[in-house]
Structure 1
Amino acid sequence: MAVMQRQQLGIREIGESVTVPQHNVARAMFYLKCICNVLDLNDENSNLGKFTDFRNYYLLSEADIDALTILIVSVKPAELLGKCLFHDEEICGNSNNKFFELEDVRQNMVIVNDILIAGQQRRVNRIMFFKMAWLQLYCLTPLQVLGERLGRRAAEIEARKRAITYQAAPAYRQQQSTQARPSCHTTSSCCIIL
């Protein structure tokens, strides 16, 4: 039924077929690129380009991968479903996802013009239909893997902080104890209890 409506309205499909490297970082970057294609995210965030260049995923530093993970969490599908992302296996046909110009579908679907993401209003430029396999491959699985990685990295950093504090603590305690120890050189002013 959705395909018939698409043909009757003459909805123009946009986009191209791409090959994404088989790596969770590349897949997460591709997901972000798709979301940037749907939402108006590129205007003030000119540095998003390095996070969406999925073909060069191996150029990201550890800190960049952490930032990518946080970016993906801020544009997770739960916030976008039914607004600019739509699950429809039939419309996608042989593709895993398809993009459509917003003006072409506005007459037949309830589309939100603006979406609140990370506390900021974002304009919806296009809509995307996807298959569940696309969502699993390019968002859910990479987000789980990268989220676990980020959790391990945070735990390692916390352990390093504790180790540094523990190593510094004896010197600090010794310094404090020598300063706080009373001087007991006179016999009349000091009492030692054993």
Structure 2
Amino acid sequence: MQTAEMAYLQRQQTQIRDTTVRANVPNNDIAKLMYYLNCVCYCIDYNDNDIRRFTNYSNWASLSDEEDRLVYFLALTLRPDLLIGKVFFPSDALSRDMQGRFYEIEQVNHQLVVVPSLVIAGRNCRVNRILAFKQIWLRENYVDPVNRLAQRYRSQRLQTRACVIS
């Protein structure tokens, strides 16, 4: 992922427009990663058919095991450290009473460095929103699910390599 030129927004230039809608994310690691990916796509307006199936977290149970792995690897590819400071911003103050809140980029009234676009999979994606989040949001919707799935996939790989001689 490469970044384009950066723009610096200052407090007096704009007003906040909160575009947050409460999400009901199933208590499942794949669903949580799909929600995470949905948040990424919402911020950068990346809504192509090729990724839509992997961001519809309400339908997580309809994915095959292979598609579950694709969600996992897609989340690893779009990991938070590539997005923090560009479209994701840790901020308890902006998150207020929720774990995360979305704001329209043109209307953020906090001093932030915002990247106007990102290159993802060779495509230039415009950043239209940011996500202000509390650390618990990142832990519950990315870090913990990724760690549990990594362990699961590591165990499965070891089991398939095992050889039983009797």
Correspondence for 1:24 among 26, 29, 35: 29
Q: Deviation string for 1:109-150 (max 9, x for gaps)?
A: 321112234555432121110000100000100111122223
Whether 1:144 and 2:147 are equivalent positions in the alignment is: yes
Q: 2:82 is matched with which residue?
A: 79
Q: Is the partner of 1:18 in helix, strand or coil?
A: coil
Structure 1: 5+ residue runs without aligned partners?
164-194
Alignment of 1:1-194 (within 5 A): 5=11, 9-43=14-48, 46-105=49-108, 108-118=111-121, 120-157=123-160, 159=161
Q: Which runs of 5+ in 2 are unaligned?
A: 1-10
Higher deviation after alignment, 102-111 or 125-134? 102-111
Percent of aligned pairs with the same amino acid: 30
Higher relative contact order (CA 8 A, sep 6+): 2
Quote how far apart the aligned CAs of 1:91 are: 1.1
CA distance in 2, matches of 1:49, 1:154: 28
**CA shift for structure 1 position 155:** 3.6
Q: Distance in 2 between matches of 1:10 and 1:79?
A: 26
Q: Secondary structure of the equivalent of 1:83? A: coil
TM norm structure 2:
0.82
TM-score normalised according to structure 1 size: 0.71
Give SS of 2:58's match. Answer: helix
Q: Compared with structure 1, are the counterparts of its residues 106 and 120 closer, same or farther at alpha carbon in structure 2 (3 Å cutoff)?
A: farther
Shift of 1:108: 4.5
**Shift in Å at residue 151 of structure 1?**
2.5
What letter is aligned with 2:47?
A: N
**More helix as a share of residues:** 1
Residues paired across the two proteins, number = 155
Contact 1:74 1:117 in 2 (8 A): no
Amino acid at match of 1:137: E
Q: Relative to total residues, which structure has the larger strand share, 1 or 2?
A: 2
Distance across 2 between alignment mates of 1:134 and 1:85: 11
1:39–1:122: 8 Å Cα contact kept in structure 2?
A: yes
